[in-house]
Structure 1
Amino acid sequence: MNSHRSRNHFDDLTVDHVRLCVVDLDARTAEFVRGFGLTPADAADLPGEDRTAVLTRGEIRLVLSSPLNDEHPDADYTRRHGDGVSDIALGTADAASAFAEAVRRGARPLAEPVRRGGVVTASVAGFGDVAHTFVQRAAARPSVDAAATDTGLRHVDHFAVCVEAGALDATVEFYQRVLDFRMIFEERVLVGSQAMNSKVVQSRSGLVTLTVIEPDTTRDPGQIDGFLKNHGGAGVQHVAFTTDDIVRSVTTMRSAGVAFLDTPDAYYGRLPERLALSRHSPEQLGELRILADEDHAGQLYQIFTQSTHPQRTLFFEVIERAGATTFGSGNIRALYEAVAAEEE
């Protein structure tokens, strides 16, 4: 349907940064520096109408912003949602052209292209109150991790996005039509009397991945319903960070005060029967409460932090991929049950 020329607008997309609106900038900054090993970086290319902290590790770049006054858009975001992801910024070689093409395909424009120093940005609306800012940089941004605790976190693996019941297919279609994403995985999860549906969309580059989840309202309300209620609509439920050694990362993060979701002992009792682990031992995984799964391409290991926000919404994931390219179908159920148990 689209020409080769138009497809090129979105072939190179990356996660440039993740913007979080926060109520208490100092507390959230300290949390990410201490627990996640992120390092404060220069914020010179960002607008100055609110308080901002830029934190990096590897390819991860979080931009934390806190409004200076009640009239700022970030203040409206935090009133509606509390702390949360307000922008999944997409790196590209030509931000102005990507913006124009996305708008031509039906995206709602939020901010026209503007240049600050060597950086060009332009924004369109995504899902809920989450924007996508196209970011074009004249040079690769430096990564300086030496001053922080080495948690081993490397880059953003994926975002888990909760949308209202009935919005899953329309959300997936938007990313396919507007940004040339592909649907690479789908799953229906039943846990007791609750259920949810999910579809995974990914950029052509393979570097931007959204797991989009909707609740099944024909079943009993569950944690996805709870997120949508507490968050005030669609939004990012969690952000997943990759590591090359999840045992080392989780050990370091726990020592720094990060709390993770628990998993029932029975999960680890059944683990040796379910998997012949390619990395780590059942004892190591059980001690740290790390989940393990596999697909046709290999194994993956993952764990989820407890939410530190009053609404119990946004949290984070640490994931190690030992070949696996999907998302741990068996662990989706385990996560669902773990979050439900924490809420109880």
Structure 2
Amino acid sequence: MSDLSVSHVEFFVGDARQAAFYYRTAFGFEAIAEGGPETGLTDRRSILLAQGDIRLLMTSDLTSDGTVARYVARHGDGVANIALRTGDAEGAFRQAVGHGAEPVAAPSVVEQPDGAVTTAAVKAFGDVVHSFVQYAHEGQLPGPHLRALETSGKVAGGEQLHALDHFAVCLPAGELARTISFYQHGLGFSEAFEEFIEVGDQAMESKVVRSASGAITFTFLEPDVRRKPGQIDAFLDAHGGAGVQHLAFGTSDIATAVKKLSSYGVEFLHTPATYYDAVEGRVGSLGGDLDVLKELSVLADRDDWGLLYQIFTRSPHARGTFFLELIERRGAQTFGSGNIKGLYEAVERAQAGAGAGAR
């Protein structure tokens, strides 16, 4: 499956309108479509948000016992469907199921006014699914009951975020190898990076896989049961199993993005000043960027191809089980080892011995 890309990411939330308002006002997304009883979506409400190439779909139940409500009761607000765009949804479904994926929805074709959309779905990890979406042409909406909005609540200030860079997923111990195998054989991904990370008495295994198209990247994290329980274990306990720990949004100017989003009320994790005393010894000279990175608590790292800058938000959720990342790549294609450990340590500081994520 060499043509896979992300169509959209669907969040199951307690209140779609409230969640959409948060992403609009805090991150500058634009509401471009909505569905509910008035459009034929009888049991739920969905709002589609856009910024750059990013599409986020906020969905909530209109009853207390529906699929979305059950998900939220178990996990809290979070990512439930990472929809993958492909030119052959039926073929992608068959390949995934042929390599052991649990089918969720068989291929079906829905005729829309602007052309047919073919969809299918398989289980990915935990209660997260992958939908396969085949569009007739560019610009189609991902569901028959979504209607384009004539006006939106776009926040002034311009687009700060342009693409989904990667997904970070926490897995229970013992599931990493099987999950990586599925993405390799069932979805045609390849392993791009791996690392064993130790922080004090805690440790975890990290592996990164990337789609054949290069458009989709997953970082999978598994705790080492031979060590003391840590933040991955805490996430799994609070979230109720495997799930998406964070999404990373790509930006072309992380300093401007952090300043702008901070002015909208987004809180970012703090990095101690001592981190910057040694960073140039690890990644090379940062020139005038060093003072800016230090001021904003942005992490710096390097791989074989270049630099990358990263920063992580505090979780807006009560359980602390989901947060967001901003990343600027200056040539880097993978991840430097220092920032993975840096994230772990930053989250540890934020948790301060209580909770599950970057609170």
Name the TM-score class by shorter chain. over 0.9
* Equivalent position SS for 1:268: helix
CA 1:280–1:53 in 2, change beyond 3 Å: closer, same or farther?
Answer: farther
Percent same amino acid at aligned positions?
Answer: 47
TM-score calculated relative to the size of structure 1: 0.93
Cα offsets for 1:11-63 (capped at 9, x unmatched): 10001100101113232111100111110012469972311111000110000
In the TM superposition, what are the counterparts of 1:84-95 in structure 2 within 5 Å? 84-95=78-89
Indicate whether 1:18 and 2:12 are aligned: no
- Secondary structure of the 1:233 match is coil
* Deviation by residue 1:182-214 (Cα, 9 ceiling, x = unmatched): 111001110011111011111100111110100
Q: When the two structures are superposed, what TM-score results if normalisation uses the length of structure 2?
A: 0.89
Equivalent position of 1:77 in the other structure: 71
RMSD: 2.0
Residue type of the partner of 1:53?
I
Distance 1:306 1:151, change over 3 A: farther
1:70-106, CA deviations, whole angstroms, 9 ceiling, x for partnerless residues? 2311111101100110011000012122112222222
Alignment correspondent of 1:141: 139
**Separation (CA, whole Å) in 1 of partners of 2:13 and 2:3:** 30
The answer as to whether partners of 1:38 and 1:145 remain within 8 angstroms in 2 is: no
Correspondence 1:46-195 to 2 at 5 A: 48=41, 49-116=43-110, 117=112, 118=115, 119-141=117-139, 147-148=154-155, 149-195=157-203
Matched residue SS, 1:42: strand
Q: Is the 8 A contact 1:195 1:219 kept in 2?
A: yes
> CA 1:140/1:30 → structure 2, altered by over 3 Å: closer, same or farther?
same
Amino acid at match of 2:154: A
The DSSP-based 3-state class of the residue aligned with 2:213 is coil
CA–CA distance in 2 between the matches of 1:172 and 1:47? 38
The one-letter amino acid of 2:298's match is I
Q: CA deviation at 1:165?
A: 0.7
The structure 1 residue matched to 2:319, chosen from 311, 333, 340, is: 311
Select the residue among 263, 266, 270 that pairs with 1:258.
Answer: 266
Letter in 2 for 1:324: A
Aligned to 1:6: none
How far the C-alpha of 1:174 sits from its partner, in A, is 1.1
Map 1:282-297; keep pairs closer than 5 Å: 282-297=290-305
Indicate conservation of the 8 Å contact 1:183/1:201, yes or no: yes
Q: Work out whether residues 49 and 56 of structure 2, in 8 Å CA contact, stay in contact via their aligned partners in 1.
A: yes
- State the match for 1:31 in structure 2: 22
